[in-house]
Amino acid sequence: MAKAAVVRKGKTPQKAKAVSGKASAGKKAKGPKYVYFFGMGKADGTGQMKDLLGGKGAGLAEMSRLGMPVPAGFTITTEACNAFFKSGKKYPAGMWDQALENLAKVEKAMGMKFGNPSNPLLVSVRSGAKFSMPGMMDTVLNLGLNNETLAGIIKKTGNERFAYDAYRRFITMFGNIVMDVNRRKFDDALEAVKKEKDYKEDTELTVDDLKGLVEEFKRIYRAETSSDFPQEPLKQLQMAINAVFGSWFGDRAVKYRKLNDIPDNLGTACNVQTMVFGNMGDSSGTGVGFTRNTSTGDRKLFAECLINAQGEDVVAGIRTPLHIDELKRRLPKAYKELDSIYKKLEKHYRDMLDIEFTVQEGKLYMLQSRIGKRTAKAALKIAIDLVKEKQIDRNTALLRIDPAQLDQLLHPMVDPKAQVKVLAKGLPASPGAAVGKVVFTAEDAENWAAKGEKVILVRPETSPEDIGGMHAAQGILTARGGMTSHAAVVARGMGKCCVAGAGSLNIDEHAKEFSVNSTVIREGDHITINGTNGQVIIGEAPLIQPELTKEFGVIMKWADEVRKIGVRANADTPKDASVAMGFGTQGIGLCRTEHMFFETDRIKAVREMILADDTEGRGKALAKLLPMQKEDFIGIFREMKGLPVTIRLLDPPLHEFLPHTDEELQELSLEMGVPVDKLKARNKMLHEFNPMLGHRGCRLGITYPEIYEMQVRAIMEAACELKKQKVKVTPEIMIPLVAHVRELKTLREMTVRVAGEVQKECKVKVDYTVGTMIEVARAAITADEIATQADFFSFGTNDLTQTTFGLSRDDAGRFLPTYVEKGILDDDPFVTIDQGGVGQLMQIAVEKGRKTKKGLKMGICGEHGGEPKTVEFCHRIGLNYVSCSPYRIPLAKLAAAQAAAKEKTKGKDLSKSTV
């Protein structure tokens, strides 16, 4: 465990100005306010000051202001923490003096003195960031104990056992947290005594046992740190504060922030609070809990307790906790007060809370209140129930739910309580989780699945030929590719879990194994992939199965009533369209016609077209494809029941439809009766150094107009046939990769001509529109010109990001994580829109396009369309809709509703609901 500010061998990084054991200070400390007092009905801070005081400090301040029994203490701010690191782990000027000044206030409030042998004050030193990071940072309890104050505690309480128990706990925590001594050494010594005496519980330890353990713990401390256990209380305090600040950059905290998208620059506050003791006998106890059930959302106290124990015993699992009803049975007066307080707190905050309490000799003390973490299922129920209880309105309810949490309801998820071994990390290409045996070919995936095996298909990257194996597998893992790679796009359409671009995987397809550093995973070994965060996990992780509740339907209904921006689906097949309709899509924002070409029954015709030597040959092959494409469009139009369907004409370069290895070319040669040399020659002719910037999109349509003519004819024939059957259709024909208005003008004229011919032949009129994708910088900058030829714009943000940054989206996964880790980029721009660059181009296009054509319809169809921050940005710049994969529609709807709700609640006091 990394300790960024650990004090080694008893040395402090900075001398305290007062180390005499007296906390009183003559003059008031000057300069910025770094320390805030709380407790006993008073507080310098408020519950709204989470940025400065952290969640824990703000909660303690607010409870104090509410007159609740909070032991006195003070909070050192997050600003002090950040200044500590900026100045090379030195306290900012005035901070220590303010700490001493507030320590004197605590002494006065509690009637005890820090370091005083006859009436000692003991304190806890605890971290507390703005956002809850449970268990990720450090805590030291019982600070202030030494050989002299120990005697004072014994005399004051008349409880020698309690005093020695507190001392051995303090040495353990201080040694582990502050000096980085392996906690196992202390625990082993404790267990050795219990084993020798045949004790089952810590509570069976006698006074003599504990005295011996204190001496043994001091010996361990000395051996591990080369220094005696510090006896000066102020030195202990300073070292503990340093350790709490340092824990902000500990390994656990850094990883947690990365997983939960919490910035590193927030810092942690440090809370120094009077100790109260739950381990003073059977009239004492401690507990933690939630004001509602964290799994179901039920309105009932969900808590656990221990009698004659300290809080760490519950949190750390040192002892098996008891149901809260035991507190009611054994300490009814304290329970009755707790029942009253938690209800008062929940009413005040208008949310489910995480609380912590201690009962010392029958008296209840509150040690924490903060917004409690909850499952997606519970989040929906709690939000709806609070509206029913008239505590919050619908807008606030919608804002309470994390859109990403909805994945828990739509896909299997790795159990968050499970201990897992993460082997590698890639891009979270398609959400959910999957467990299975590793296979390395699509053929094996199909064969193993046919025998009832659950498999994970592992490939360097997937190709159209892998579609059968992808369908058969539980999930897909690739070493290369990005968020818009073949594997990612197809997996999302299928609703399959996918991790793409896991660059640390070294795949040996012939040996049927892959390795990450020294770890080797072979065919048949179990792995788990987490498509929600990109983790590759060794073995079979426990999964939680999705569950759509009635509350999900209610929240979606509220979201639909509030949001202003439309939500469409990216769907390429009738099945995709059907799934999208089930989630309440308002149309299809992107139908990729090339995915229809990849189907096994038509890839041969596509290849015939590519291999043809002239227009006539291409025409013959395209004639075979026409009825297939037409049937696809009929199926999609039927499913969409008159909603708009935006169909993108062929976009990828032609080389993607041909195999490249000698083995695959040999197979294709036999299948098609075409010499291998001709296939190789055509591959060579189609080869491009950078195909993403090459002969693709509208450039194909201009050089091979017969391809686009066939597609437009297929669309319009399908539309006309259904119109005759009185089925409403709304086709939107989209030209990809336009950079110059003349490209669009040429292809629009072709589209209008072919559409007119079909309508004339079918003797029916169908309303349709012709638009373009804005996916290169020139198109955005000249949007005013392009708008003269477009009925709508759709931002292809995958390509727009690629061309704006000059990145290859399929290769950037190798280094973009490093850019994010080093803070060069806040986020992967292929995951969430780069608002400062790509977003600026989008705004230019919106303004210029609508200046030419007022009310021009605009949407976004890259996979960004389902990412919450991007959805909010699209709402802000005035797009008409976002489009995303079918399974992300609920997330996009909620994010869109939240964007609208934020506008409505702007300027309103929501402090109580967001503390």
**Minimal CA–CA distance to 457: which of 422, 494, 415, 403?**
494
Side chain identity at 4, as an amino acid letter?
A: A
513-516 and 413-414: which strand pairing?
unpaired
Q: Please, are residues 479 and 503 in contact by the beta-carbon 8 Å criterion?
A: yes
Strand partners, 289: 303, 355
Strand partners, 366: 357
SS3 765: coil
What crossing angle do the helices spanning 603-611 and 615-640 adopt, rounded to 10°?
Answer: 150
Burial 531-542 (b: 16+ CB within 10 A, else e): bbbbbbbbeebe
**Minimal CA–CA distance to 125: which of 146, 111, 145?**
145
Tokens of 754: 């072919």
What crossing angle do the helices spanning 376-388 and 550-562 adopt, rounded to 10°?
Answer: 70
Distance CA 273, CA 311 (A): 14
User: Cα 417 from chain centroid?
Assistant: 16
Query: What's the burial of 20, exposed, middle or buried (CB within 10 Å: 0-12/13-18/19+)?
Result: exposed
612-618 — which CB contacts under 8 Å span 24+ positions?
615/706, 618/704, 618/706, 618/707
List the catalytic residues.
Answer: 486, 861
Residue 7 per-residue DSSP state: P
Largest CA distance in the chain: 104
Question: Angle at CA 359, nearest 5°, toward 356 and 364?
Answer: 80
**Minimal CA–CA distance to 460: which of 830, 809, 811?**
811
**Minimal CA–CA distance to 708: which of 651, 661, 659?**
651
Q: Please, are residues 270 and 128 in contact by the beta-carbon 8 Å criterion?
A: yes
Tokens of 420: 């897992």
Listing DSSP states for 326-385 in one string gives HHHHH-HHHHHHHHHHHHHHHHHHTS-EEEEEEEETTEEEEEEEEEPP--HHHHHHHHHH
Tokens of 605: 């015709």
To which residue do tokens 């494809």 refer?
625
Tokens of 24: 């009183």
Burial 657-690 (b: 16+ CB within 10 A, else e): bbbeeeeebeebbeeeebeeeebeebeeebeeee
169-172 — which CB contacts under 8 Å span 24+ positions?
169/141, 169/142, 169/310, 169/312, 170/140, 170/141, 170/142, 170/143, 170/145, 171/214, 171/217, 171/218, 171/221, 171/229, 172/217
Side chain identity at 200, as an amino acid letter?
A: K
566-570 and 769-774: which strand pairing?
unpaired
608, containing H or E segment: helix 603-611
**Minimal CA–CA distance to 163: which of 213, 219, 103?**
213
Residue 827 per-residue DSSP state: S
